[in-house]
Amino acid sequence: MKELEKTYNPAEIENRLYEKWLKGKYFHAQVNKSKKPFTIVMPPPNITGQLHMGHALDNTMQDILIRYKRMQGFEALWQPGTDHAAIATEVKVIDKLKKEGIDKADLGREGFLDQCWKWRDEYGARIVKQLHKLGSSADWDRERFTMDEGCSDAVLEVFVKLYEKGYIYKGSRIINWCPVCQTSISDAEVEHVEQEGFFWHINYPVAGEQGRFVEIATTRPETMLGDTAVAVNPEDDRYQDLSGKMLKLPLTDREIPVISDSYVDKEFGTGCVKITPAHDPNDFEVGKRHGLDEPVILNDDATINVPGPYYGMDRYQARKAIVADLEAQGLLVKVVPHSHNVGTHDRCKTTVEPMVKQQWFVKMEEMAKPAVEAFKTGKLQFVPESFGKTYLHWLEGIRDWCISRQLWWGHRIPAYYCQDCGHVTIAKEAPRLCPECGQSHLKQDEDTLDTWFSSALWPFSTLGWPSKTEELEYFYPTDVLVTGYDIIFFWVIRMVFSGLEQTGRLPFHTVLIHGLVRDSQGRKMSKSLGNGIDPLEVIEKYGADALRMTLMTGNAPGNDMRFYWERVENSRNFANKVWNASRFILMNIEKASGGSAATLDSLTMADKWILSRANSLSREVTENLDKYELGIALQKVYDFIWEEFCDWYIEMVKPRLYNEADATKEAAIWTLKTVLLQALKLLHPFMPFLTEEIFCNLQEEEETIMVSQWPQYREEWSFEAEEQATETIKEAVRAIRNVRTSMNVQPSRKAAVYVVSEDEELLSVFERSRSFFASLGYASEVFLQKDKEGIGEDFVPAVLPKAVIYMPFADLVDIEKEILRLKSEEKRLTGELARSQAMLGNEAFISKAPEAKIQEEKAKLEAYTRMMEQVKTRLAQLRQ
């Protein structure tokens, strides 16, 4: 049997153990029909990514589940991979090229893509290596990339199938447009930021009614150039006569109608809403209902494209000019400060423009229905359940999905345009000739697909779909998806409807939602605030296990958590506690002859107690993990190891270990080893490195804890009577310690302990526990009796439900020394009282000192008075 180093040093063991696991292929899962599969797909981190606390939490939770299931005997696959992250990567590569003095356009598409692949080769594996540091036991032999050959084939397969089914189309609809990146972007990439702005109230003249106006309010005056109507609520009595009339659109030569639509909120603003169908999602829908035109007033770079005085102006420059002209014409009613959320591109921080553009879309209405049904029938479950409402709400209000992006990096749309007849061919492979006219002048669509289009296929494309692979048949559907609540809409829902549409099966049965990791003040970690914590820094300083434990301590599904350095230190202290306890046990095993118990009957009451508690713990932790209560499971293991095993049981057995003549020493050592092995296995999913190192030093039968059998509840290890009896002893020890603490008695001072009870069974419990009860209760001797014979008036009592424990006062306190100490304290307090009374009796002090200082001195006087009373009372008792 090996020996643990004197000091726990995570930096020394973690890299070594991870390499051992990789070399041993312990993370690798294979098709094994004799075992039940359990599969998790890793949310693919971006190839531009750097490990942050969100990644650390997300991957720790997945690793806990996969390690747990692996130990339970499942063929556990944690499928890893990375995402090409179209916009993020393109922005990074463009910035890199700019620093080198190279323009993207000069390289051309192929040259630029070559640079993107070089980026991926150089930086794509960075976050994977960082996940290694965390201890992630993903099957890295199966690592995938959203643009590898197989995943790309799946993307093309789905696009063609959906197009042929009529679900993919090209059309003009409202989308999010980034004027800087000059591409459409998904809702996931729009960050709503609160900004200070204004409501500009503007009068629109009623045509043919001199002096009559309709007042509207807008936060974007420049968009009035694209107004095609003003809407009022049909139930608003104020504007009944206006419906159907025409308004003069200020600063233009156009007239627009007043329309009635229930979309308008009568109570908000003026009750009249300008309708700009091409630049507002809600207005777009109103415009469709009323057959309104959709004039786009902005170029791709957000400059005005409307002929006239504002043509070519930047949108904000135009806003100032338009407001000035409205004021000059007497049409600006007022300007009201207004704080509102503004959509910005999360990459470049530019304000996004809603804009009608020709794009590729996926029809969502039909595909959403099975996804809704899956949730309503309980086939798809969320943990916590409340997030199911968010899922349902979004699906029931779903709009068609814009899937095209004006980027070069990504999956290029497989649409080929004939330059001769205009026919469009949708195919996985580029056609040689146009099927319509037979000509060869074909050009592929310039756009690429939304990154979410490929990641929506992740649970099955990573397993070989569209081919019918063994892996797909065995590992799909997957089991649990672990993700943050911020991407339920953008990723989870897309995976669900894609899985159902393409495979006929849900991609997973459970979605485990976690919250955000915030700083100690509860703020979201961000670069702008400078409050981000680098997980690698934490690992370097305290070890991966300490970080993992910190992230899971108090963790509840769906809830945000706060990061405190103090918690990391507590986690490190716990690791040290486990390490030191294990060293102690190992040293005693080395000294023992055999270290095995012949039968359970040879175990003492204390042995059976801890074995029974470990047995119950295995059942409880298993139940918690099965319900995804990871934080609760960890807390139970922590409490058991720290308090019951280390602070109680190890202290209970020390007298037996140190007594060579004790016949129960072998039983104690067997119990120590057995319970420690059980505890290490229960702790392993949470703290894999620490547990592996100790486990491999504690026994030689198994080469790793990773595939060791998960502890199962065993009826023969249940000792309810011994548990109750030991709890009684613990209660007695606590009562003794409380009395001694209240009297400032040092642990080194022993005292005789008398246990008085008429309950014979209770006395027999103390008899069976006499050796460790004496040790834990700092007893010089232990007397067990039914009455108070020999117990004097000066004995100090500690009361239990069915017994009273007495200790001679003289044993607890050296009376002469205590009298001297109390006299010294009495003298000190006399001086303090005199000083404080003199100050408060000094009129100069009272008149000049700040009120806070006076109150502070009064509080001191009260405290000294109470302390003096206690000292005098104690002295009187001792002198008696």
pLDDT along the chain (880 residues), means of 10: 85 96 97 97 91 92 98 98 93 93 93 96 90 97 97 98 97 92 85 88 95 94 96 91 93 95 88 94 94 95 95 96 97 91 85 94 95 97 94 90 95 96 95 94 96 96 97 98 84 96 97 90 80 91 97 89 93 97 93 64 94 98 97 97 97 92 90 97 98 95 96 96 95 94 88 94 94 92 92 88 91 81 88 92 89 90 89 79
Among 238, 198, 254, smallest CA distance to 221 is for 198
Query: Measured between alpha carbons, how far is residue 281 from residues 278, 488, 580, 855 in Å?
Result: 8, 21, 63, 63
Do the Cβ atoms of 621 and 633 come closer than 8 Å? yes
Coil, strand or helix at 515: coil
| Start-end of CATH 3.30.2320 domains in the chain | 723-813
pLDDT of residue 310: 96
Q: How many residues does the chain have?
A: 880
Q: What is the pLDDT of residue 529?
A: 78
527 is an annotated ligand-binding site residue: yes
Structure confidence at residue 822 (pLDDT): 81
Residue 732 vs residues 372, 652, 787, 798, 824: alpha-carbon distances, Å: 58, 14, 18, 8, 34
Q: How far apart are CA 586 and CA 1, in angstroms?
A: 8
Question: What is the CATH T-level fold of the domain 816-879, as seen in this structure?
Answer: Helix Hairpins (1.10.287)
Alpha carbon distance 609, 607 (integer Å): 5
Three-class secondary structure assignment of 167-195? CEEEEEEEEEEECCCCEEECHHHEEEEEE
Looking at residue 37, what is its pLDDT? 98
Closest C-alpha to 687, from 536, 551, 535, 544 = 544
Q: Phi/psi of residue 841, each to 5°?
A: -90, -5
State both tokens at 715.
């009826």
| Sheet with strand 795-799: strands edge to edge | 779-785, 751-756, 804-808, 795-799
Query: What is 578-600 written as a DSSP string?
Result: HHHHHHHHHHHHHHSS----S-G
Q: Which residue has the tokens 């207004």?
A: 338
pLDDT at res. 124: 85
In 809-880, where do the E strands start and end?
A: none
- Cα-based torsion angle of the residue sequence 701, 703, 705, 707 in order, rounded to the nearest 10 degrees: -100
Tell me the one-letter amino acid at 280: D
What are φ and ψ of residue 43, in 5° steps?
-55, 115
- Res 597: pLDDT: 57
Q: Which CATH number fits domain 564-699: 1.10.730.10, 1.10.10.60, 3.40.710.10, 2.40.30.170?
A: 1.10.730.10
All CATH 1.10.730.10 domain ranges of the chain, comma separated, are 564-699
Supply the DSSP string of 26-85, one letter for each residue: TT-----TTS-EEEEEPPPPBTT----HHHHHHHHHHHHHHHHHHHTT-EEEEE-EEB--
What CATH number is given for 194-340 in this structure? Answer: 3.90.740.10
Q: What is the pLDDT of residue 193?
A: 85
Helix (H/G/I), strand (E/B), else coil: 755? strand
Q: Say whether domain 723-813 belongs to CATH 3.30.2320.
A: yes
Residue 237 sits at the vertex; the CA angle it makes with 234 and 238, to the nearest 5 degrees, is 110
List, by residue range, all CATH 1.10.287 domains of the chain.
816-879
Structure tokens at 675: 């319970």
Tokens standing for 88?
Answer: 């993020």
Chain centre to alpha carbon of residue 380: 21
